[in-house]
Amino acid sequence: MYPYKKQNALIWLFIFASNIAFAQQKTAAVHLSLSEVWSRAEINNKTIKMQDLKVAGSEEAIKDAKAERLPDIEAEGEYARVSNMPVYDNGLFHAHSQFEVVHTSYSFGGNAYLNLYNGNKTNLKIAEEKEKKGLAIEQLNLTTSEVRLRTAAYYLDLQRSQIFKALMLKDISDQEKQLEEIRQLMKNGVVLKSDVLRAELKLSRQKMSLIQIDNDIAIANQKLAILIGETDNFTIVPDSTATVDLKVKTYPEYLEDAIDHSYEFKISEKETELSKLELKSVKANVSFKLGLFANYAYSYPQIQFYPYSIAMYGLGLSGIKASFPISAFYHNKHKTKAAEIALQRQEVEHEATSDKVRQEVNEAYLRYKEALTRINVAKQNIKQATENLRIVNNTYFNQLSLLTDLLDADTQLLQTRFDLAAAQIAAQLQ
């Protein structure tokens, strides 16, 4: 039995040590300001990294488009075995004579082509790739701003939950002291046991709310940790409730800032420019092509020119080549029309994006002013709720009011403090 007990003891010791290590790892906390969280998100966020790679890919696409200005050069070779060549002098169904042929044939050489003009399509392709790079950069900026906004939302949510937790802990402490006073009144026969039970019930609910707040903190912390590229057990301690200078500009000023800096608006502009370039590229299909060509090859045997020779020979050609796609007049008609329609649709979409920006700025502006008003109202409500609690507390302990009045006054004061914290966080987010 002794070895068995010893083995169990070792197992429990291992579990205990593991729990301690896990608890230490989980409780490790790092204080980060909002700007520090933003910096980590811009470096480590996977969505931003994907957009960074997209920008890098667009840079290579520009280099590839410029490389089309270089000549096309090919090297080629061929080796073949030639069959006998029967000659049917009197028709296919009569005996044939045999013509002697050389059974080995080979050639090797190279050719080159330098484009001089192809309807300006090469330059259009380069310009298109540059616009795509600009579009990728604006999409990167938009993604970064969206990540910053989500990061701020999670950070402020975490900050708000921390404020709620501090308020709840203070309220629980006050409720416990108040409960002791009520219990003392019951011992003295001043109040009924029902008052003690109601006070205990409220205290129990407050402790349950504290558990919910702790879970909210854990959830917001994990979301924020993932967003900045950290592990799930990375604990972030946000800034304390420092007062933030909340200023209000006029709506036209906010709208002007949005038009100048809105990445969605800039993306829409880039997409419109791309549609214009695509239309030009389609129209360029109906244009002649001009280029220089050269090729040289060694071949065996020489059977291209008379008299023939059973020997290797070299032959080269060089000159200028021009062509015009006549069929493009009817093949390109519908392509051009489709490109024009796509451009018109993109222009309408650009106007719709402008409308969307104005609507979002107006909504955010009104919500911001609303949040500032809520802050002032919440501050006034706290003063009133504090005074109300003082009055009800005095009247209850002098047996001039009911316990329900006291509990309601406690709840109202706590709720007004919650409202003030929520309004301050909402104003910062807006």
Distance CA 327, CA 332 (A): 8
**Rounded average pLDDT over 143-155:** 91
pLDDT of residue 126: 93
Task: Provide φ and ψ at 31, rounded to 5°.
Answer: -80, 125
pLDDT at 398 over 60: yes
pLDDT of residue 245: 65
pLDDT tens digits for range 25-81: 444 678 888 888 888 888 988 999 999 999 999 999 999 999 989 999 999 999 999
Tokens of 35: 């700007």
* Torsion angle (degrees, nearest 10) of CA 69, 70, 74, 75: 180
pLDDT at 225 over 60: yes
pLDDT at 352 over 90: yes
63: burial class by Cβ within 10 Å (0-12, 13-18, 19+)?
exposed
Find out whether 339 and 286 touch, Cβ atoms under 8 Å: no
Query: Which residues lie below 8 Å from residue 289, measured CB to CB, with a gap of 6+?
Result: 115, 117, 118, 119, 321, 322, 323, 324, 325
Length of the chain: 430
Residues 252-285 as b/e (b if ≥16 CB within 10 A, e otherwise) read eebbeebeeebbbbbbbbbbbbbbbbbbbbbbbb
Distance CA 362, CA 366 (A): 6
pLDDT tens digits for range 71-128: 999 999 999 998 888 888 888 888 888 878 888 999 999 999 999 998 888 999 999 9
**Nearest to 375, CA basis, from 254, 250, 243, 251:** 243
Sign of CA dihedral 333, 339, 344, 345: positive
Q: Indicate the SS3 state at residue 83.
A: coil
Distance CA 86, CA 99 (A): 6
Distance CA 176, CA 191 (A): 17
